[in-house]
Structure 1
Amino acid sequence: MTITSSPTDHIAIDQQAQDLLFREARSANTFTDEPVGDDQVQAIYDLVKWAPTSYNQQPLRVVLVRTPEARERLVSLMYDSNQAKTRSAPLTAIMAADCDFHENLPSQFPIFPQAKDVFFADPAVREESARLNATLQVAYFILGVRAAGLAAGPMSGFDSQAVDREFFPDGKSKTLCVINIGRPGENAWWDRLPRLPHTDVFSTV
């Protein structure tokens, strides 16, 4: 099948919004010292919490790192290449998956009893589902940060087990990533790497 229309012809949001969320958005590596307030974080979450997850589960748990003492605890657990930018970011969020999310499943969901008592009775099944769906929520959160006019710098370079012990001592949550948040600073961007074309990703059966 030959595609003759422009891809942007089929996108409901305008070009400016497309650029803000996707085309011009980048993962920031430096930030200004402009603070990111709790009201901004709440506005971001109140937007992205409506995005879909399986069984409407909401396993994402977030620790906002604000105090100098907590920041140094986190920085010490980051890999060397991530330490300086984590130390200087105005806000850092530790994003984790709550493996006991099933305790908060909505009781009005049509298959709630089966989901809670059968599907998620196995801790291994719960953890797999928690990690998948919390990762979806992390992706939605990054888009929400961009929608708020801020930049996100997600990182996976850290000792995840040590971060779990330090910031989620109850043992229920597993850290997925750490995100620096703020206004992009000087030389914030690395060169953009290429993306796979549509033809390399999609097949039709």
Structure 2
Amino acid sequence: MKLYGTLTSPFVRRVRIVALELGQSFEFITTAAPEGDAELRQHTPLWKWPTAVFTENGTKRVLWDSRNIIDDLFSQHGTGPFQLPTPEEAWKERNAIEAIDGALEASIHLFYLEKEGLSIQAAPYLTKQSQRVASVMTWAESQLHGASFFEKPRLGMAELALLTTLDFMVFRNRYPVAQHPKLVEFQRILSERPSIRQTYPTA
């Protein structure tokens, strides 16, 4: 697998963590460099990361979006330590991921807009995005059972989504995660995994 993205992207990090947990090597192409970004644009009209290119037996497959890439890795190599939800749990996991990704995308948009000189107070829309982040973080804390969204301990896609989002929030100083004790404990527990420590974002 050839993986395009940045080392600070939480969505790219999810793919990196899954690949490491499954013991799958990959070539990482940083899109922070002009040549890497130019190469990425040859594979996706979205110009977004993560994008993964698989070449097998002379056949090339290009996948966009972390969920698609992770689903493909699972189908090819099994789920490793990750537990997929039962049919009865699936709706809860999908809701959790939808909420977490909504907060993460809002936070990323605010981060880049602030880099362009816009403050959160510049428009009601931006204020709403900031409030959405806070709402989701409060909700997520209320749903946790230790290091899982489910009463039985598990590492699934919802937990991976939350962990990478929280680490991004802390790394980019986007949200005061420390005011949520359960979220802090969740981070602490999962940070013990080598794949989590190895992929923590760095400047």
Same fold (TM over 0.5): no
- Higher RCO structure (Cα 8 Å, ≥6 apart): 1
Between Structure 1 and Structure 2, whose CA radius of gyration is higher? 1
TM-score (norm 1): 0.24
TM-score (norm 2): 0.25
